[in-house]
Every structure is written in C-alpha cells, then in structure tokens.
Amino acid sequence: MDILMILFTLLGGITLSAQSSVQGTFSRKAGTIETTFLTMLTGLVFLTIIVIFFGQGNVLGILSAPVWQLSAAFLGTGFLILSVIAVPRIGVIATNVAVISGQLAISMMIDHFGWFDSLVISFDWKRLAAMLFMIIAVFFIYQGNKRSSMEANS
Amino acid sequence: MRYLAYILAVLAGAALSFESAIYGQLGETIGELETSFYNFFMGTLIMGLLWLFFGKGRLSYAMEAPKWSLLGGILGVVYLTAIVISVPFVGVGITMVTVIIGQLIMSMVIEHFGWFGIKQTSINKEKIFAVISMIIALILIN
C-alpha cells in the first residue's frame, strides 16, 4: 500500500512539472495574467465537481475560518503567476530547481521557529549543509543554461 | 532580466511553502478537498480582477490553442490531491521528497525532449550535477 502511495505521489511531482511547462507554453501566446486566470478557472470547475461528489468537509467553514489562514490564497496565486513568468525565460529545470530551493529554505525556517503551530525542528549543521547544496544546485543550473544557450547561438 | 527570473522562481517556492503550512491548518478545520477548492475559488476571483484591469494578452487564444495546453489547471489539481491523500499514509517528509524527485526528473525529461512546446535544450553535465546536489540536500534535510 505504501509503495502504491509513493508512486502516486511521484505522479504528483510529475504533473507539477508538466503543469509549469504547459502553462509556460500557453503564456507565450496568451499572456501571463490570462494563463494564470485560465488555470485557476479550470481548476475551480474541476474541483467543484470533485467537492460535490467526494467532499466530506465543510465548505462553508471558510466563512468562520481565521483571516490569516484565508490569506494563503494570495500566496497560492502569487506562486502561479511567478512560475508562469519564469518558465519561458529560464526553462523548466531552472524554474523547478529554484522553486524547490525557495520552498525548502522557507520550510526550514518555519520548522526552526515553529511558525503556524508547526512542530519545532531546530536548524542544525545537516540542514546548513543542505542549504549549501541547494545553492550549488541553482548555480550549476545557471551555468548549464548559459552553456546551452551559448551552444545554441554558435 | 535572467537574474530576475531566477529570483522570482525562488520567491514562488517561498510562497508555496508558506501556503502549504497555512493550508495544513485550514485543511484540519474545513477538510482538504474543500481547502483546495477555496484556493482555486479565491485564485479565480483575484486573477479575474487582475485580468480585467491589467490583462494585456489574449484570453481568446484559449479557443484556438491546442487542447492539451489548457490542461494546466487540471494537472495542478492532480498534484494537490496526490499530496493530500499521501501525507496521512507515508508522512510529510517522504511525500515532499517523492514529489520533488518526480518534479526534477520530469523537468529534465521535458526539457531534454522539448515536450509541451518547451524549447528543447539537451541535458548537460551541469544540469545532472544540479539534480544530484538537490537529492543530497533532500537526504540531509530528512
């Protein structure tokens, strides 16, 4: 069962990459704002159907949820706009590596300070080393992209 | 301009992390699927407004574009649902690592073959080093 779940999650990662590519391509002809809007709209339609059939929670709970929790929607929208902007300019790998680095760096901060009632996990040397490797990764991607574009031009 | 795009992508990741921490809380009170629904609902409203006031592109391109290029939203839902379902089974740590590995491998494949209309750029050793560094970082964090 666990193996099946892990494969399913792997599929989640695969679709995330596919999503950023598909949107990057669409945005070149339709525009950044238009692409993000369309993604949100189609996702909404799709989720409406899913929630109607499989939703076991309480959608109306939104009305009584604390405002700071609801403000996450701006972050979700921000993420989408920023990734739509980045893909056509620096490519899929670079965008994904940079996104993951930002994601992990902030996750470690949230863990360290215990923000949002999360479990406190202190920043230690292993995590510091992980940060260094992420910076190295972004640097390599930058170098690799520079080389590919030079080869393409020559 | 290129530097800026890298910075924007890192910021996007930072936003994603804050978002998932906060939505984790919201999910406990109103349900996971409902939380995703809320995200896309508000997102549609925010983007609808932005589009009305600042949209300079061409939304009608959606009618002529190849149909696969409209699948972004649905792929996003698959990603969100996969995470929501898998966390209770295998935990957040393994879930994130698995998602990221899937994301990195798929990015390499897409760019190498130029799928989905992405400019084809062959994998070179720098990119492979980058992915290996990311995997080392993941092992160190967990």
What is the per-residue pLDDT for B74?
A: 84
Mutation choice for B interface testing from A2, A5, A10, A15 by most B CBs within 10 A: A15
- Identify the residue with better confidence: A137 or B2: A137
Q: What is the rounded distance in angstroms from the CA atom of residue B6 to the CA atom of residue A22?
A: 19
Contact A6 B75 (CB under 8 A): no
pLDDT band (50, 70, 90) for residue B88:
low
Q: C-alpha dihedral over B39, B14, A100, A151, to 10 degrees?
A: 110
Q: How far is CA B100 from CA A9, A73, A92, B47, in A?
A: 10, 22, 13, 27
Same domain flag for B34 and B92: no
Convert the pLDDT of each residue in B6-35 to its tens digit.
888 888 888 887 887 787 778 778 887 888
What is the average pLDDT value for chain A, to the nearest integer? 81
B46 and B8 within one domain: yes
Point out the residue among B78, B117, B138 whose CB comes nearest to the CB of A12: B78
Confidence of residue A47 (pLDDT cuts 50, 70, 90): confident
What's the pLDDT score for residue A119? Answer: 67
Q: Under DSSP, is residue A37 helix (H, G, I), strand (E, B) or coil?
A: helix
Burial (CB count within 10 angstroms: exposed 0-12, middle 13-18, buried 19+), residue B105: middle
> Based on the domain organization, do B103 and B131 belong to the same domain?
yes
Same-domain status, B83 and B142: yes
Write the residue in A57, A85, A133 that is nearest to B133 by C-beta.
Answer: A133
| Total number of domains in chain A | 1
Average pLDDT for chain B: 81
pLDDT of residue B1: 62
Look up the domain containing A15 and give its range: 2-153
pLDDT tens for residues B36-49? 888 888 889 998 99
Do B74 and B138 reside in the same domain of the chain?
Answer: yes
Question: Which residues form the domain of B3?
Answer: 1-57
**Quick one: B50 and B117 in the same domain?**
no
Instruction: Identify the domain boundary among B57, B82, B98.
Output: B57
Shared domain check, B138 and B84? yes
Distance from CA of A4 to the nearest CA of B (A): 10
Q: Kindly state whether residues B104 and B87 are assigned to the same domain.
A: yes
Which of the two residues, B132 and A154, has the higher pLDDT score? B132
Please give the pLDDT value at position A99.
85
What pLDDT does residue A152 have? 67
Tens digits of per-residue pLDDT, A69-98?
888 888 888 888 888 888 888 888 888 888
Mean pLDDT of A58-73: 81
pLDDT of residue A103: 82
* In a shared domain, residues B132 and B69: yes
Task: Count up the domains in chain B and report the number.
Answer: 2
Tell me if A15 and B78 make a contact (CB, 8 A cut-off).
yes
In a shared domain, residues B47 and B75: no
Q: Which of residues 21-80 of B touch A (CB under 8 A)?
A: 21-26, 29-44, 46-48, 50-51, 54-59, 61-62, 65, 68-80
pLDDT at res. B92: 66
Min mean pLDDT across A12-16, A61-65, A138-142, B85-89 is at B85-89
Contacts with B107 from chain A: Cβ below 8 Å = 17, 92-93, 95-97
Residues B92 and B122 in one domain: yes
- Residues B30, B79: one domain? no
Question: CB contacts < 8 Å between A and B, how many?
Answer: 444
**In this prediction, what percent of chain A has a pLDDT beyond 70?**
95
User: What DSSP character marks residue A58?
Assistant: -
Cβ contact, residue pair A38, B59, below 8 Å: yes
